[in-house]
Amino acid sequence: MKINDKEVLVCNCEETMALDGKALAKALGGGEITVHRHLCRAQLEEFKRAAADGSPLVVACTQESPLFQETLDGMDGAPPARFANIREHAGWSADGKKAAPKIAALLAEAALDLEPTTVVTMKSEGRLLVIGADEAALEAAAQVAGRLDVTVLLTGEDTDFLPPRIMDVPIFKGAVKGATGHLGAFQVEVEGYAPAKPSAREAIAFEDGAQEGMSGCDLILDLRPGQALFTAPEKRDGYFNPDPGNPAGVQRALLELTNMVGEFEKPRYVTYSADICAHSRSGIVGCTLCLDLCPAGAIEAAGDQVVIDEFVCAGCGSCASVCPTGAVAYTLPHADAQLTRLRTLLATYIDAGGKDPVILVHDSRQGEDMLHVMARVGRGLPANLLPFAVNEVTQIGLDFLLAAPAWGAGAVRLLLAPRSRDEAAGLDGQIEIANSILSGLGHGGERIAVIDEADPEALESTLWNLDPGTAPGRGDFLPMGKKRALTNLALTALHSNAPEPPEVIELPSGSPFGAVQVDVEGCTVCLACVGACPTGALKDNPDKPQLNFREDACIQCGLCEATCPEKVISLVPRLSFATESRDHQVVKEEKPFLCIRCAKPFGTESAIETMVAKLSGHSMFSDEGRLDLIRMCDNCRIVVQMEDEKQPMAGPPRPKVRTTDDELRERDELRKLARDSMAAKESEDKKS
> With bands split at pLDDT 50, 70 and 90, how would you rate the model's confidence at 207?
very high
Say yes or no to pLDDT of 114 above 80.
yes
pLDDT digits (tens, 9 = 90+) for 484-527: 999 999 999 999 999 999 999 999 999 999 999 999 999 989 89
How far is 438 from 499, CA to CA, in rounded Å? 11
Residue 194: is it exposed, middle or buried by C-beta count within 10 angstroms (0-12/13-18/19+)?
middle
C-beta of residue 28 within 8 angstroms of C-beta of residue 107 = yes
What was the pLDDT predicted at 591?
85
pLDDT digits (tens, 9 = 90+) for 647-663: 665 556 666 778 888 88
Say yes or no to pLDDT of 680 above 90.
no
Question: Crossing angle of helices 398-406/335-351, nearest 10°?
Answer: 20
With b meaning 16 or more CB within 10 Å and e meaning fewer, what string describes 123-161?
ebebbbbbbbbbbbbbebbbbbbeebbbbbbbbeeebee
The correct answer on CATH 3.30.70.3270 for the domain covering 514-589 is: yes
Q: Which residues pair with 293 in a beta bridge?
A: none
Q: Where are the domains of the chain?
A: 2-83, 122-264, 268-330, 335-502, 514-589, 594-643
How far is 679 from 671, CA to CA, in rounded Å? 12
CA 607 from centre of chain: 39
Look at domain 122-264 and name its CATH class: alpha beta
Whether the upstream peptide bond of residue 333 has omega within 30° of 0, thus cis, is yes
Average pLDDT over the chain reads 93
Category of 172 on φ-ψ map: left (φ > 0), alpha (ψ -120 to 50) or beta? beta
Of 121 and 161, the one with more pLDDT = 121
Closest CA to 413 of 367, 455, 374: 367
Look at domain 268-330 and name its CATH class: alpha beta
The secondary structure of residue 457, as a DSSP letter, is: H
Q: Which residues pair with 450 in a beta bridge?
A: 414
C-beta of residue 578 within 8 angstroms of C-beta of residue 504 = yes
Closest CA to 141 of 43, 219, 46: 219
Residue 578 φ then ψ, to 5°: -65, 150
Q: Which residues pair with 206 in a beta bridge?
A: 196
Least confident of 225-239, 395-409, 573-587, 646-660: 646-660
Closest CA to 445 of 455, 434, 456, 454: 434
How far is 201 from 536, CA to CA, in rounded Å? 73
> Would 268-330 and 514-589 be classified into the same CATH topology?
yes
The pTM (predicted TM-score) of the whole model is 0.86
Category of 249 on φ-ψ map: left (φ > 0), alpha (ψ -120 to 50) or beta? alpha
Q: Where are the alpha helices (DSSP H) in 307-466?
A: 318-322, 335-351, 366-377, 398-406, 425-440, 456-464
Q: Which residues pair with 645 in a beta bridge?
A: none
How far is 348 from 28, CA to CA, in rounded Å? 7
Residue 28: is it exposed, middle or buried by C-beta count within 10 angstroms (0-12/13-18/19+)?
buried
Least confident of 459-463, 623-627, 629-633: 623-627
